[in-house]
Structure 1
Amino acid sequence: MCMGFGCNAAGVTGCRIIDSPRERLIAILTNSLVPCNGRFPTILAVLTMFFAAGTGLFTSLSLALLLAATILLGIFMTFFSSWLLSKTVLKGVPSSFTLELPPYRRPQFFRVLVRSVMDRTLHVLWRALIAAAPAGLIIWILANVTVGDTSLLLHFAGFLEPVGRLMGLDGIILLAFILGLPANEIVVPIMIMAYTAQGTLTDSGSLATLHTLLVQNGWTCFTAVSMLLFTLMHWPCATTLLTIKKETHSLKWTFLAFLIPTVLGFVFCFLFNCMVQLFI
């Protein structure tokens, strides 16, 4: 789980150290519920724009507390989904944890470097490239091909609008998450591209400019909370899914790894939106 804070794909490969096949599978299926480096920028940006209070030190302190609460929610959902899996589809007797220390040897720097780069880094980057190249082409086509003076991107966003509203989001946000399957880092640039009707991915330049753009497109603090919830709980990125497929050798478990956080994200956003509609 700790490795998942850096990269969920690395967290999945790190589950190899778990001896019990059942518990290894549980760890793999729930690993993506902790935020990775691809999701931290989005979480920090939303917290800063809509919830960080005060000035100077107080802003940093409130942001740190809110970020800690968000991370703790992700950890809680990891434990909850692991417990639920252990009581349902992956029942079994818990195994004891034994950590055997290998004999101490002098580190072989060159060997460690080569194995780290060749066996881990390059493999993960290759999986990312396999997913990113076709996704980049799809995003470009959707943003630049128009039907009736409206891009395909906005047509699909309009189609998803009812589902997005049920979750306290909108069609553009939901489409950005779908197109952001190759990498969570591109979710916000896709939103900006759609809101500004541009044909290429771009950034806003500053958080103040981004905040103004989002508010102009109907964002409120409730939209920001739903955005945080769905950023924390939605399908793993394509690289993580490919890694899960490689580690489990099963499309069934890969689909379940996709389904668990997605269902949790939809349910939490829907329930939060219902509470908002009930009290305002």
Structure 2
Amino acid sequence: MANHQLLNCEQCPIHDSTLQKLGLNNDSWDFVVALAGNPNTGKSTIFNALTGLRQHTGNWPGKTVTRMEGAFSYENKRYKIVDLPGTYSLLSTSTDEEIARNFILFGKPDVTVIVVDATRLERNLNLVLQILEITNRAVICLNLMDEAKRHQLEIDSRRLSKELGVPVVPTVARQNLGIQQLLRAIHEVASGQYQCRPHRLRSGSRELKTALRELVEKIETHFPGLNNARWVALRLLEGDPYITEALRTGELAGIYQTDSQFESNNNNKNDSAVDEIIHQANNLRWEIGDDLHDSFVEAIYQDAAQIADRVVRKSDESPRFDWERRLDNLLTNKWTGFPIMLLILAVVFWLTIVGANFPSSLLANLLIDTIHPSLKTLAANIHMPAWLSGLLFDGMYLSMAWVVSVMLPPMAIFFPLFTLLEDFGYLPRVAFNLDHIFKRVGAHGKQALTMAMGYGCNAAG
């Protein structure tokens, strides 16, 4: 039903009548809009539709690695829009997550538009719930509605809006459908016509809820007016060094204070109060134990699953058979996740090593056993000096031939296999499984994927 309403509105005579695409002309603006979302959800397409720019769009994850800025005008107001890197989470310290998280927190956007893949709503809600812990001003862009319809998925966008406490706009960005409604929602939230009441996590262990309540009270006492005190408390409980430093330097206070207030309070800040907050967070973290991160992530997953259950259903079946969640529970379970991960990676490595043998031998025969002697014969026939022949054919060419014959076949097999695993959504689960292990040494779960790729390189150093 949402799709029909969307199409009818897009065909109305006043459609897109008040949008001015300003491209890179963002020297002055009335409101700042942040564009966030998982990789491969259509953020760049939304960005292009609003600004008139031609940021390259592609059907692969992780394309936006830096901030892209543009501008548009709507209802006589100028908007600066910032396309943040696509990310699955804001809980870790990878570069893309830090860029997205820090802009939403410290950049103080007037509206954060969260682009969501309608065909993978539950998985996308994990990021949505994290962003709603940071900001009170958000709009959900429910993109790829045509794909959801093709998969016979029905999404109650009104119910979803009620569950999340923010506007939800169904769109098909590739066909420019729903853009006008999205603009209207952005304008209403930015101008204060729509008052958001964002969802707060309800799941989680009793210990986590108690620790959060104590720490939030302490933070709100010393930082009155901080809208995202609960999220700051969560990050302090996890020992986030960036948030801890922002608290010490007073950068956190600058989020909700004017420049004059910030400068005055920063000059007279109570270091003992800040130390007290950090000390209490450290004590509570030790009381909860090593399960803190897992407990919070589990709370996000539970809330996302419950919301998706209430708003998504298959049109051809009354009770929704959620095979994806069953598979997700199997792949991320602490007892089954690691054996399955090791088995899949072992199969990938086996296919890479065994499958590369035949094309490697073919390339070696062609480049080394056939072409190289021919080149040496040619050099002799034209009386090329021995030192030049050795440099060109025995040195440069032979080195290149060995590298191509040895490295090209494994890469041609390995990287497409990894791309398939990414498209199937398995690699983020590998990163999730290994994140708590890698965090013990100050790393990130995503680095496990880089490390796995490094197993195929035998070069020294």
State the TM-score bracket (shorter-chain normalisation). under 0.3
Q: TM-score, normalised by structure 1?
A: 0.26
> How high is the TM-score relative to the length of structure 2?
0.19
